[in-house]
A and B are shown apart, each in its own frame.
Chain A
């Protein structure tokens, strides 16, 4: 039929455009990482792995990698623990519960810039509400922007606030699919709440949690906006992880090659970790 041919043509056009949009930037990033250019518009010079060698020789790179691991590790751990807790709380059914669940999702919907500004206002020098609360407890001010440890802790806690609802929602869906009779049977056998949690709930959530852990790890390791908006990587690079290091190389030092190389390296690290993860915990494939 002629219309069949039309639909094939439309489809291949769409596929071509999609490939261009999705794959070309990644390919171009690779190309940039092998080139040296004086500025964004100057002619490139192929230097192959020199950018990579240069970046890997920078102590700042390794420091940023270490901070990224700490930042991602702690945020993921807290998100998962809190998310499971919230999901258990919100799993019960009674009138009004859907509204409460909706409220618990709100932080996840907010643009990062809104969260960052709101928390900066709440932490503001002497008049923010957190600062006032700290004064009541006898501290003069909250040094979250000046103290390296406090800055990292602040960024971690705010990230947890924003992204925990993702864990809550997915775990909630997982909890609702656990058949009630398993709990009933366990109750009859005399299992207490803790035993039911450890021996039924957690194992039943296993496949959900494996996916959640994977997705959270990918996103937290790549996280740029909340850290940049809160601290710009400071004070004295105390919160600078790889995405911020990469941004600063490309757009502050105008060293696009190094910036692209850093992004490529962090993507390779992530890919290797994901491969190992799949080897350790094969996900049950249902399709």
Chain B
């Protein structure tokens, strides 16, 4: 049989391609983490695939001498605010569209899909102008509002899919048994749609945490910056301080990696549903 040799060859070839895929995907990330732990003085003199002198120096400089901790806190506040508002509103809308009787349901869902493809600047320009006019510009609240504007269509769309799948009989049975609609909603429907709500929470968080465009346009003072814009302004201030910049990048990416490790099920489901604008 001559089938054995090509089989071994194709197995090796497959393994090699798989290894290449992994290296391709992970190398820049590895390089970022690697750089963040290197001795600042050696960064510009040599290429090291592993830090020869492992140090926390870049991190301590970053946290002690820059506004990084403030930006981190701002990012957390804005992201949590966005998640809270997005979940409340999208749960209500998705529930109403699947359960209540009123005209224009398809219009609501259709509008959400349409809003999903608005160019970021089509929203950023009017929002920035609006915030200047009503005195909200350069505040964290303006960022929460902008990020909610981005995340809502996605949240409604995702949750609509979840609410549709839950048979009406379950809550109708509860309502026949004397539960009010409100109680049936809280006690029966919400627990069943929890996976959907978690998915929306993750993506609202991701959207807010990684947003650069809106933060760039809305916020100008250093104390109100979020991580992405703050870190980018550091490039100009500390030219070529790549150790600190990579430490800062690692710290932005870390929460996402931790979330991804523990909640990958929700991530994959959301991603497959097209749940990231990007």
Contacts and interface: CB of A to CB of B under 8 A. Distances in A.
Interface of A: 1, 3-4, 6-8, 10-11, 14-15, 17-18, 21-23, 25-26, 28-29, 31-32, 40-41, 86, 89-90, 92, 100, 102-122, 124, 127, 129, 132, 161-163, 165-166, 169-170, 173, 211, 215, 218-219, 221-222, 224-225, 228-229, 243, 246-247, 250-251, 256, 259-260, 262-264, 266-267, 270, 274, 287
B54 interface: no
Contacts of B237: none
Contacts, number: 250
A106 B271 CA distance: 12
B17 interface: yes
A152 B173 CA distance: 60
Nearest to A261: B125
B180 A3 contact: yes
Chain A to chain B: the 8 pairs with minimum beta-carbon distance, closest first: A111-B210, A28-B126, A14-B92, A3-B180, A263-B122, A113-B228, A222-B119, A29-B126
Contact of B25 (A17, A107, A228, A259): A107
Interface residues of B, number: 89
A40 B220 CA distance: 15
Contacts of B93: 11, 14-15, 18
Interface in B251-278: 252-253, 256-257, 260-261, 264, 267-268, 271-272, 274, 276-278
A21 B229 CA distance: 23
Contacts of B153: 22
Nearest to B34: A129
Task: Determine the main DSSP class of B at the interface with A.
Answer: helix
A165 B22 CA distance: 12
Contacts of A247: 121, 124, 217
A137 to B, nearest CB: 15
B188 interface: no
B50 interface: no
Contacts of B209: 111
A173 B272 contact: yes
A25 B256 contact: no
A119 B18 CA distance: 23
A229 B232 contact: yes
8 contacts: A14-B96, A25-B130, A29-B125, A89-B18, A110-B253, A110-B256, A113-B249, A267-B118
Interface in B69-117: 88-89, 92-93, 95-96, 100, 108, 111-112, 115, 117
